[in-house]
Structure 1
Amino acid sequence: MEGSKVRREGFSIPHQSPLPQSRELGEVSPERDYVQRSPFTKSWPHLVAGGAGGMTAAVLTAPLDVLKTRLQSDFYQAQLRAARAAAGHIRLSALQSASYHLAETFQILRDVYRLEGSRALFKGLGPNLIGVVPARSINFYVYPTGKRAYSQWTGLDPNNPGIHLASAITAGLATCTATNPIWLIKTRLQLDKNDAERKGDVSRRRYRNSWDCIKQVMRNEGPTGFFKGLSASYLGITESTLQWMMYEEIKRQLRLREEHIVISGREKTWWDHTIDYTGNFMGAGAAKGLASILTYPHEVARTRLRQAPMADGRPKYAGLVHCFKTVWKEEGFIGLYGGLTPHLMRTIPSAAIMFGMYEAILKLLDVKH
């Protein structure tokens, strides 16, 4: 009968609408019905949840972000090499190098506070927040929207790993392109030494504030100057892609674990309840940590490419490949992992906080994803 409808789990579809060829009549999944409506349906909660999670994580981990950026720059790496040479720490084993690097990390954090004041620990937080909120909002909006869109276009299940891969890459491209100018300003401000201001000689500082940095970049480097480091950011999409895919797999394993407990009918232990409340939280941190270690050199390259030009106005690094070659030649393999310790100290709890808030807000709004 024309106009009659088949109802599945609260969604209604016209009977004349074509069903997927791979399914028999009566086997339409609720998720499939959902994506047929529109890939952009009900995506605003993801936008809000991602922005709120990113903002909270950025504020709580700001000092470690400043420390990480400084350790990634060649200026601070040169200072560290000189200090190591003076102390006779030239040839170190892998374990000694890791121990020494950890000690350097905490020493620099202490020196920043002692020499530049507590405000220096939050240097660049303004542009960081301006970047984090839209970046996380875009990423958390584009990723689930991409899942629904690619599922609809290809006919694959939204939980297919191929759908996760395509969605994560799309979200990464959109986020990097839209927010690169903000990250460039943040990096320049974080690398700009503050002790000239502490001594009252503001003229020795290159940038007075964010607006002054924007004007100088536009005047001296043109509009394209705001997109320095974009190639390294695109390379960094591998990190966010790995993180999303590992996070999705961890969530899938947690769902299977919950289903197994329900089917078996056994009573939940204290450990089961702990996993229920912290599984996604811990999974997000673990996924971020592993993805960061595997792809970290792009972080160093991105920071170096965003550094202010040298005194003669020329950039030290001509491009991504030249940057990797120069760092390898001048600093060796360890140079590609400068700042890894504070990076992991920041990104792992940051990812846990961000994804934890993201999931909590979606649960509060009763959004299934």
Structure 2
Amino acid sequence: MTLDHAPRPRSIHDDGTPFRQTLLPQSRETGEVVPPKQPDGTPVAAAKSPFAKSWAHLIAGGLGGMASATLTAPLDVLKTRLQSTYYQQHLAAMRTARGLPPIETMSFTRSSLLHIRETGEILWQVPKAEGWRALFKGLGPNLIGVVPARAINFYTYGNGKRIISTYFNDGKESAWVHLCAAAFAGVVTGTATNPIWLVKTRLQLDKNTHADGRGRQYKNALDCTMQTIRKEGIKGLYRGLTASYLGVTESTLQWMMYEQMKMALARREERVANSGRPPTAWDQTVAWTGKVSAAGVAKFVAALATYPHEVVRTRLRQAPLENGQLKYTGLTQCFKLIWKEEGMAALYGGLVPHMFRVVPSAAIMFGTYEAVLKLLGTSSNL
């Protein structure tokens, strides 16, 4: 007698095709999801969100701006005064009294040396005539401007670079990614903070005693803001904005150069590590100071190439004349009038203190930025 076997239910494995697990594996004991692993047993890293720890760039940028602005405040006051019409006229009168020819007729070497000498004289005269606190005029509104400006700039650039590279460049850094992120960050920052910079500039140019015997025009930053709105309207707070947009070229160039030098430093460290030799004293020096030096060099080149916009921006932000009229009414008109009345040298007024200020300022700011990011457990690299 034979027994008939009931047909066995068809198994899902009988079709010869391998079973593919579509759900994440779970632990039998706890029911928790077990992270997937690669063939060699190492866990598969989860994809990073382009918005991960975006707040870190905001904090790091703000702290970097605060440190650099405070330490270089006296040079910022000196630079602003040398860019203004009043001090250019004062210097021209001093040269005439000494029997010197107009600076625009001098050779480049002689005019440069004279500019350095005059810069030192004004730096000495300001605290002597107005007290040491005059070297920190405008520091309050400067900090009020620098901290949010740097926070906005570093936040917009750092996250912009990450988002652009993630969605449009396969997560890789490149020059065009740096270019787009820096340009966008510059426009956003300039628009958001222009009123603060205008108030700071006017406070720095406001002397205790003017040529006509008047005292200070503004009591403080709030008074300066209210007088500007009352006399020139809300749009008065945005004077010099076009020159600020022109200055976006400087920040864009600076970011691009800084990023390229950072990538070169990373490649150098990789070569040293792959060589198998112990790092030399020079290798360790480059590792510790490389990014700070890169920030200073990038700022020096970018500022030197785009400096005239700084002078134009300062002139456009000057307070109106006694009759209420504005001497400089627009970007092109300001360039032409300065060139016509004072020559090309005036477009580089205050260059020496500007360089003395912005180069160490950039090194301090970017160094603080990178250090704070590291403390917060993230990095400016992708």
Assess same fold via TM > 0.5: yes
SS at match of 1:252: helix
CA shift, 1:209, in A, is 1.1
Count how many residue pairs are aligned between Structure 1 and Structure 2.
Answer: 342
User: Equivalent of 1:150, from 164, 174, 178?
Assistant: 164
Aligned partners of 2:115, 2:44: CA distance in 1, in Å? 57
Aligned partners of 1:75, 1:287: CA distance in 2, in Å? 31
Task: Give the partner amino acid of 1:190.
Answer: Q
CA shift, 1:279, in A, is 0.6
1:258 corresponds in structure 2 to 269
Task: Give the partner amino acid of 1:147.
Answer: K
CA shift, 1:158, in A, is 3.8
CA shift, 1:154, in A, is 1.5
What per-residue deviation string (whole Å, max 9, x for no partner) do you get for residues 44-66 of structure 1?
A: 11111111111011010000000
1:75 corresponds in structure 2 to 86
Q: Which blocks of at least 5 consecutive residues in structure 1 are unaligned?
A: 14-32
Conserved? CA contact 1:120–1:194, under 8 Å: no
Task: Provide the alpha-carbon RMSD of the alignment.
Answer: 1.7
1:339 aligns with 2:353: no
CA shift, 1:10, in A, is 7.0
1:159 aligns with 2:173: yes
1:283 corresponds in structure 2 to 294
CA shift, 1:12, in A, is 5.0
Task: Give the partner amino acid of 2:220.
Answer: N
Conserved? CA contact 1:284–1:352, under 8 Å: yes
CA shift, 1:2, in A, is 2.3
1:176 aligns with 2:190: yes
Task: Give the partner amino acid of 1:166.
Answer: C
Change (3 A) 1:237 1:151: same
Conserved? CA contact 2:258–2:295, under 8 Å: yes
User: Equivalent of 1:316, from 323, 327, 347?
Assistant: 327
1:51 aligns with 2:65: no
CA shift, 1:353, in A, is 0.4
CA shift, 1:122, in A, is 0.2
CA shift, 1:194, in A, is 2.2
2:359 corresponds in structure 1 to 348
CA shift, 1:312, in A, is 1.1
User: Equivalent of 2:249, from 212, 235, 238?
Assistant: 238
User: Superposed, which structure 2 residues align to 1:1-369 within 5 Å?
Assistant: 1-4=21-24, 33-34=47-48, 37=49, 39-90=50-101, 91-195=105-209, 204-368=215-379, 369=381
Aligned partners of 1:98, 1:321: CA distance in 2, in Å? 26
Aligned partners of 1:225, 1:232: CA distance in 2, in Å? 14
Bigger Rg, structure 1 or 2 = 2
1:28 corresponds in structure 2 to none
What per-residue deviation string (whole Å, max 9, x for no partner) do you get for residues 198-228 of structure 1?
A: xxx8x62211111110110010001111000
Task: Give the partner amino acid of 2:168.
Answer: T
Aligned partners of 1:6, 1:165: CA distance in 2, in Å? 37
Change (3 A) 1:133 1:263: same
2:7 corresponds in structure 1 to none
Aligned partners of 2:374, 2:343: CA distance in 1, in Å? 47
Aligned partners of 2:172, 2:95: CA distance in 1, in Å? 52
Aligned partners of 2:88, 2:292: CA distance in 1, in Å? 34
Change (3 A) 1:156 1:85: farther
CA shift, 1:103, in A, is 0.5
Task: Give the partner amino acid of 2:178.
Answer: H
Task: Give the partner amino acid of 1:86.
Answer: A
TM-score, normalised on structure 2?
A: 0.86
Aligned partners of 2:120, 2:282: CA distance in 1, in Å? 34
SS at match of 2:166: helix
TM-score, normalised on structure 1?
A: 0.89
Q: Which blocks of at least 5 consecutive residues in structure 2 are unaligned?
A: 1-20, 25-34
Conserved? CA contact 2:250–2:303, under 8 Å: yes
Aligned partners of 1:211, 1:141: CA distance in 2, in Å? 28
Change (3 A) 1:78 1:151: same
CA shift, 1:156, in A, is 4.2
Aligned partners of 1:184, 1:7: CA distance in 2, in Å? 57
Conserved? CA contact 1:116–1:195, under 8 Å: no
